[in-house]
Structure 1
Amino acid sequence: MQTIIYAGDEYLTGDDIADALLAYSRALGDDERAEVVEIPVRSEDGSVITAKFLIGPASQIVSKTAIGEGPEIEDAELVARLRQLTRGLESPTSQPLEVDDRQSYDLD
């Protein structure tokens, strides 16, 4: 488990979720963009709730290992989506250019 420290508060979440959130935050900062990301966190009563984070160039976000804080919070779909978004910012790919083959070109 990881404790995310953000805007003076602490949020407990899973290792993979915290790692993916930090990586995406760094990639957004490098691209000078910001996004709101929702992740599952454990509340003080032990239930799992959703927290929203505004991450980007100005984000000051830290994570640290949390020991003995209950079962790991996991969300494989969220982690995969954050990793995909991170890769998209780090290594953008272009879409194929569609050309109308029926168009003629005068090359004189």
Structure 2
Amino acid sequence: MKHVSLGDKSLLMGDDLADTLLEYARLVGDSDGADTVTLRAIGPDGSTAEVGILLNSSTSLVVESTHSDVVPPDNSEVVEDLRERMRAITRPASAQPEERWVESEYDNTDMI
């Protein structure tokens, strides 16, 4: 479990999610991009909440370890989605050449 601070908000979430979110925030900031992430976390009152986070080059995110025994909400799908987004930034798909245009295949003069 890790304690994550975003502005004036404090959240508890699983280690894997917190670490992945921090790395994704760095990549988004480095690319001067922006993105949103929706996840489940434990708020200051101890309840589980769905949280939307805007990430951009101005995002200030602090991740700290805790000694909490609380079981974090399951965010395995969010972690995998963030990893896919990270791969898209670090290893973008290469451009594929288009099929060569062959005029005879598109010659429709008989339709005029």
TM-based fold match above 0.5: yes
CA distance in 2, matches of 1:10, 1:69: 17
Alignment of 1:1-108 (within 5 A): 1-100=1-100, 102-103=102-103
Taking the aligned partners of 2:44 and 2:8, their CA distance within structure 1 comes to 16
Give the CA deviation at 1:100. Answer: 3.2
Count, aligned residues:
104
TM-score by length of 2: 0.81
1:74-97: CA deviation from partner (whole Å, max 9, x where unpaired): 221110110110111122122422
Larger helix fraction of residues? 2
Identity of aligned residues (%): 28
Moved over 6 A (4+): none
Structure 2 alignment gaps of length 5 or more? 105-112
**Normalization by structure 1: what TM-score?**
0.83
Name structure 1 gaps, 5 residues minimum: none
Task: Rate the CA distance shift 1:103–1:23 in 2: closer, same or farther, 3 A.
Answer: farther
Q: Looking at CA atoms only, which structure, 1 or 2, has the larger radius of gyration?
A: 2
CA RMSD of aligned residues (A): 1.8
